[in-house]
Every structure is written in C-alpha cells, then in structure tokens.
Amino acid sequence: MKINRKLFPYVLTLPALLVCVGILIPFFTAVYYSLQRYNLKMPHMKGFIWFDNYVNIFTDPSFWNTIRVSLTYTFFTIIIELLLGLGIALLLAKRTWLNNVLGVLLVLPLMIAPALASLIWRLLINPNFGVVNYILSFLGLEDFTWASHPDTVLFTLIMVDVWVFTPFIMILLLAGLRSLPRQPFEAAELDGVPEYYKFFRITLPMLFPFILTASLFRLLESIQQFDIIYALSQGGPGESSMVFQVSAYLQTFQYTNIGKAAAMMVVLWAICYFLCHVFVQQWHKLKIKTKGELLQ
C-alpha cells in the first residue's frame, strides 16, 4: 500500500511522459546526426566525423549571415513590440467602454496563425493591387518594394511579426497594470509628484516582472520564428532574410544535408536552452510573487 502511494503520481504522469519520451528520442538522434557526414543524396558517404559539421558552419560566411539576420530580426521585433505593447497597455489601462472593446479586439491578430498573417499581408502589399500601397501613395511613398528587395524584406517581416505579437505583450502588460496596488499612486498624487516621475519611478519598476516575462516569452519565439518568414519570403531575396530555422529547413529539403541542418539546430537549441533557463528562474519568482499577492 505504501509503495502504491509513492508510485501513484508516477502512474498519473506516465502517459504524458511516454509521449514525450517519444520526442526525446528524435532529439538525441538529431544531436547524433549533427556529428555525422549525412547527406540523403550520398548515403554511402555517411560516417562519423565528430565536430566537422560545427567547424563547417562556423567557418561558413552564410551561417554568420544567418546569425546576423536572426539576431537583427529578434532584436527589432522585441524592442518594437515592447514599446508599442507598453504604450497601448498604458493607453487602454483605464476601464472605459472604448478601452474594454479595444482590449478584446486587439487580441485578434494574435489568434491568427502566423503563417496566415503573412498571407494576409501578402495580399495587402501586393504590388499590383495592394491596398496598403494605395494608402501609402497619399503619403508620397510610391512603389515601396516590401518583400521583393533585400533592403526592405526584413522591415516587412518585422512589421508582420509586430502585427501578430504586439497584442501578446499588450495583453500581459495590461493585466499587470490593472493588478498594480493603488496606494503608491495615491500617495504620489497627494505629494503632487509629476506624471513622468510617477511613470519612471512607480509604474515601470512595479511592472518590471511582467515586462520581463513577456519579453522572455517573445525572445524564445522570435529567435525561432519560422512560419512568418517561410510564408512571406522563404529567406529571400538572396539570403537577406535567412533565419535559423528557415536555413535549416532549406538545408534539409533542398540540399538534403541532414548533418549540417542538425548542427545548425543544435546551435539554436543551445541558445534557446540558455534563454529558457533564465526564463524559468524568472517565471518561478513571478509565480511566487503573484500567488503571494493573491493570498493577501
């Protein structure tokens, strides 16, 4: 009976665990592949080559380009989404009729599949009939090249990412803003503290855990973004929007170079693992904090 009681939680989690073990196997296989010379077109060449794939990708300028593009994409999406999301959250913080309706409606882009969001924008910026081009022509901006030129493709992709994921930051920060205790603000009001001072010294520090959580979530997703980029530019023109996962996808299905693709993915995984570690620590702290506040 005693053993039964000890084993019981494991029995409950076992099915979920088994499904995930099925996932762990491919993970280790991928790591193993990354140490092999493995090209589907040349099966007889298959063999163990230790870290040659890694040496290869890190001496390849196009992989450095991939790193540069991925980091640029991640950096700009997160900065813009944070600022915009924070701004909108502040604008909508007061519970008025309009703000409540907008709070509901603004979540909609987030609920659209990122791949479909790319397709929506492809129709809106189509060079022949795109309505956005028509609107921009009034602002004196004619024939903007969008995704068809290396100089503007990243801008276009970042715009779509911002469109989809700003609501994510917005909704989290809005919840944070509305849960802040009132007393510090009331005290500041009594002392006649100026608005900007209230914002930088009270609102922002108290909102910080929420900002951190939201940005870490976004960071992990943004650096791995595949759907938006694949559906809009497939890494092109040239390699101007080639991010990690798109690069690995093409490496696998165009060049059938499994070993190299696996090595790239392991590098990306290492970056994500590090970020995830930071994330989990913060997540724990925040959970304790919000739970604690709830009990009061």
Strand partners for 47: 37
**Residue 35 is a binding residue for another protein (CB under 8 A):** no
Least Cβ distance, residue 200 to another protein (angstroms): 18
**Residue 139 is a binding residue for another protein (CB under 8 A):** no
* Window contacting another protein (CB under 8 A); options: 63-71, 146-154, 200-208, 248-256: 248-256
**Residue 27 is a binding residue for another protein (CB under 8 A):** yes
Least Cβ distance, residue 264 to another protein (angstroms): 9
Residue of 246, 198, 260 lying closest to 49 (CA atoms): 260
**Residue 245 is a binding residue for another protein (CB under 8 A):** yes
Please select the residue that binds another protein; options are 54, 75, 185, 283, rule is CB under 8 A. 283
277, two tokens: 């570690």
* Window contacting another protein (CB under 8 A); options: 62-70, 144-152, 197-205, 226-234: 226-234
Least Cβ distance, residue 272 to another protein (angstroms): 6
Site for another protein, residues 181 to 210, rule: CB under 8 A: 210
**Residue 158 is a binding residue for another protein (CB under 8 A):** no
3-state SS, 72-94, equals HHHHHHHHHHHHHHHHHHHHHCC
Q: Is the CB of 79 or the CB of 187 nearer to another protein?
A: 79
Distances (CA, A) of 96 to 85, 101, 140, 183: 18, 9, 36, 21
Residue 148 to residue 160: CA distance in whole angstroms: 15
The vertex-160 CA angle with 157 and 229, nearest 5°, equals 45
**Residue 19 is a binding residue for another protein (CB under 8 A):** yes
Q: What is the dihedral of CA 93, 282, 169, 114, to 10 degrees?
A: -160
Strand partners for 37: 47
Least Cβ distance, residue 217 to another protein (angstroms): 7
The neighbour count for residue 101, using CB atoms within 10 Å, is 11
Least Cβ distance, residue 221 to another protein (angstroms): 8
The secondary structure element, H or E, covering residue 111 is helix 108-111
Q: Is the CB of 56 or the CB of 187 nearer to another protein?
A: 56
Q: Is the CB of 16 or the CB of 187 nearer to another protein?
A: 16
Burial tier of 243 (Cβ tally within 10 Å: 0-12, 13-18, 19+): buried
**Residue 134 is a binding residue for another protein (CB under 8 A):** yes
**Residue 17 is a binding residue for another protein (CB under 8 A):** yes
Helix axes of 204-222 and 258-295: crossing angle, nearest 10 degrees: 160
Each residue 113-132 as x (binds another protein by CB under 8 A) or -, in order, gives xxxx--xxxxxx-x-xx-x-
**Residue 175 is a binding residue for another protein (CB under 8 A):** yes
Q: Is the CB of 40 or the CB of 55 nearer to another protein?
A: 40
Question: In Å, how far from its chain's centre is CA 279?
Answer: 13
Q: Is the CB of 153 or the CB of 176 nearer to another protein?
A: 176
**Residue 294 is a binding residue for another protein (CB under 8 A):** yes
Q: Is the CB of 57 or the CB of 187 nearer to another protein?
A: 57
Please select the residue that binds another protein; options are 3, 108, 139, 190, rule is CB under 8 A. 108
CB of 96 closer than 8 Å to CB of 181: no
